[in-house]
A and B are shown apart, each in its own frame.
Chain A
Amino acid sequence: MVNTSKNTDDIQISGDKRHAFAVLYEQFMPKIYRYISFRIRDDNMAQDLTSIVFEKALTKFNSFNSEKAAFSTWIFTITRNTVIDHYRIYKKNEYLMPDAATKASAQNPSPENEAIKAENTARLRIFLSRLNKREQEAIVLKYSNGMSNREIAEVLKLTESNVGSILCRTIRKLRSSFVEWQNE
């Protein structure tokens, strides 16, 4: 478990901002959790990291300037950095960790389809883990929250057309790795 306790000495938000933060929390908390749970398969860890993200956001909220960036860009940047820090600390690739459902299916192969599905999921995770960081980010942002290419471009600081190209290329790459594996 990650220690989420944090010194709150520097949380200084005016009444208006407190209200704004509460509204943004309601709107973005599920999105942030979905993003993290896509990358971190452990539920407890995903909860811990979500807590860390919002504590950081609360602490830094005074410095957030809506004229410079959209809140979604700002909070997803905090989230990405938090997940990167997590990987750095634990030095492991979470995509490779099968989740509970996959484990259960793999242990109980009686319905053949379930076993095949579990195997395919595990493979897909492996191929995803082999992509470069930018390709992984684009995929996670797209599939965890159905973000538009423009939103993804803002978070990754790329152009919209660049994001489109990355997504097309990456999805084709996943497919080709998958077909190669099936033909082995």
Chain B
Amino acid sequence: MNNKQKKDKLMLENLDHIVAGEKLNEKSELDKETKATLELTREMTSWPKSPSKEFKAELKAKLTHQVAEQKKRDALKSGGSEFQEILNRPAWQLTIAAIIALIIVAIIIVIIYIVQH
């Protein structure tokens, strides 16, 4: 490991202290310039903000609502297709055909009865 690599390694180790909000180790082998360089960037750790509780809850509610709406739509869609599926079964088709035939025969019988009387 050459001198530059050693310096970089030391810098990166100490960078993690900076981003964790910790003080730099006084006994560290860091040279003055690198210490000053790292300390300069400490300021940047205060730039990001944390979300407010209200916003966090609001966004969660919004996403939950979107999922619930989709779930409803999915339930409606799958409900309709289940009914379609039942109607497509041969046994059901035969039953329905038989019922329709019975109704037609009944209507004919009623018409004949009415005509004769």
Contact = CB atoms under 8 A, between A and B. Distances in A.
Interface of A: 6, 8-9, 11-13, 18, 22, 25, 29-30, 33-35, 37-38, 43, 46-47, 50-51, 54-55, 58, 99, 117, 120-121, 124, 128, 139, 142-146, 149, 164-165, 167-168, 171-172, 174-175, 178
Contact of A35 (B48, B55, B73): B48
Interface residues of B, number: 33
- SS of A interface (majority): helix
27 contacts: A8-B69, A9-B70, A9-B73, A11-B70, A13-B67, A30-B50, A37-B48, A46-B49, A47-B55, A47-B59, A50-B51, A50-B55, A50-B59, A55-B63, A58-B63, A124-B41, A143-B41, A145-B48, A146-B16, A167-B12, A168-B8, A168-B11, A168-B12, A171-B15, A171-B41, A175-B33, A175-B41
Contacts, number: 102
Contacts of B62: 51
